[in-house]
Amino acid sequence: MPKIEFTRVSIRDLLVAFGPMTLVVALVCIVAYKLVDPAPPRVIDFSTGPDDSAYQRLANQYVQDLAKNDITVRLQASQGSQENLQRISDPDSIIELGFVQSGSTDAEEAESKGLVSLGSLFYEPLWVFYKSKKELTSIAEFKGKRINVGTEGMGVARLFKQIMSANDVGESDVELQRLDNEAAAEALAAGKLDALVMVSAPDSPVLQELLRSPDVKLFNFNQAEAYTRRFPFLSHVVLPRGIVDFGKNIPANDVHLISPTATLVAHESLHPALIGLILQSAQKIHGRAGWFSRQAEFPSDRYTEIPVTRQAEKFYKNGPPFFQRYLSFWLANFLERMWVVLLALGALILPLSKIIPPLYVWRIRSRVYRWYGQLRLVEHAIEELGEQNRDLVCQQQLKALDELEGKVNHISVPLAYAEELYGLRSHIQFVRKRILYLQNPA
């Protein structure tokens, strides 16, 4: 049985030759993993809306969907769109994401506050309910009325004031109140309010109750198309006849409405890798057809005055990142972050691969070749041999050769380099014979 040291390669020398390069490559990978593009966080702080609101219900769906990729979404209730906007733009706030009603700000203000849009999610029509014996056809007819525009922090007041201003109705011309929608609906029913203004998705319980109330009328924006030209963040939508209740034919006619959209707004510090993942969740949550939207109409990069971030634009154009289509989010993110480093390492490994093998060969052969120096000293000693002390010098050099040969016999080299080892042994024997001849020329 051959001994274990009689191998084709030397593991020890391989480690010495390739070890430093492997260590450098590993260190580069580790440093790059930490610094080149930091890994996305596993926690997102999300500002929603009032308790039991549509915003909060939708945010809970994001919690469930993102949890599938080990992302924790921490929800924080708010009064609504305006408060969400303030939280996201506050540099001292931990909130990075929230629902914001379109028209709540403008592009310049959003950019100065570091706000970016991930896109619009769904229509949120402006519902104006009122109690009156006659049909109102113009916002100007609401002069002198008691109108509820929602609590502080909601975006309804800002929007309705813009609508009033476009109709030459000032704040002094009406009595604005700031009740929550449930309290306002009760006040309207009791005659303590003349009108209730709200922005909501159709699934709001308060909205459903108001739409079915026979004593409450829904204002029909006959000039809806003109409003969308004046205010680009608004859309013209139609509440179709009978969609609330087919049997009772509610509403009895098509109702024209103007609608901002709920947009998903983030602070520019939100990690870019999370944007694609969040938008994949948005597609599942908001992609279905509804009262006002077609299948797959949302999420969309339209209907928002806040600039859509570059990563979101790329998502809308090309879909999810390539690796995320086939791999888990975290593995895909690792490859997306590291591909530049991997290319650089490839460029580094190529020249190193031409240097390391010769280095390994040199290390193996140096075990043999370094003994040739001692053998050359023996030859040098006998080349200067004179008649005086000939026997003594020859005996000393023969002893030196014996010691040298003993050391050489303990050299271990891979089988592929055995030729050099046996060559050294034959050269030692050659020098020994030469000394013996000089010692006894006859």
- For residue 166, the domain's CATH number is 3.40.190.10
What are the tens digits of pLDDT across the range 176-198? 999 999 999 999 999 999 999 99
Q: Specify if 418 maps to a domain.
A: yes
The answer to whether residue 34 scores a pLDDT higher than 70 is no
Final residue of a structural domain among 206, 240, 259: 259
- Calpha distance 333→42 (Å, rounded): 13
Q: Specify if 94 maps to a domain.
A: no
Final residue of a structural domain among 234, 259, 284: 259
Residue with tokens 């190193």: 352
**Choice between 223 and 367, residue whose per-residue pLDDT is larger:** 223
- Calpha distance 411→5 (Å, rounded): 10
Q: Specify if 362 maps to a domain.
A: no
pLDDT recorded at residue 2: 46
pLDDT recorded at residue 3: 47
- Calpha distance 442→438 (Å, rounded): 9
Q: Specify if 317 maps to a domain.
A: no
Helix, strand, coil % over all residues of the chain, rounded to 5: 50, 15, 35
Highest mean pLDDT among 30-44, 107-121, 343-357: 107-121
pLDDT recorded at residue 6: 47
pLDDT recorded at residue 200: 85
- Calpha distance 342→44 (Å, rounded): 29
What are the tens digits of pLDDT across the range 222-240? 999 999 999 999 999 999 9
Q: Specify if 332 maps to a domain.
A: no
Task: State the average pLDDT over residues 93-114.
Answer: 92
The answer to whether residue 65 scores a pLDDT higher than 50 is yes
Task: State the average pLDDT over residues 296-307.
Answer: 92
pLDDT recorded at residue 183: 94
Q: Specify if 149 maps to a domain.
A: yes
- Calpha distance 28→42 (Å, rounded): 24
Final residue of a structural domain among 259, 293, 323: 259
Domain count along the chain: 2
Q: Is 38 exposed, middle or buried (0-12, 13-18, 19+ CB in 10 A)?
A: exposed
Q: How confident is the model at residue 137 (pLDDT cuts 50, 70, 90)?
A: very high
Q: How many CA atoms lie within 13 A of 419 on its CB side?
A: 2
Residue with tokens 């409450």: 216
Task: State the average pLDDT over residues 77-95.
Answer: 93
Co-location of 133 and 255 in the same domain: yes
Where in the sequence is the domain holding 390, given as residue range(s)?
Answer: 370-442
Burial string for 334-367 (b: 16+ CB within 10 Å, else e) reads eebbbeebeeebeeeeeebeeebeeebeeebeeb
Q: How confident is the model at residue 316 (pLDDT cuts 50, 70, 90)?
A: very high
The answer to whether residue 4 scores a pLDDT higher than 50 is no
Q: Specify if 347 maps to a domain.
A: no
Query: What average pLDDT is seen over the chain?
Result: 87
Q: Specify if 78 maps to a domain.
A: no
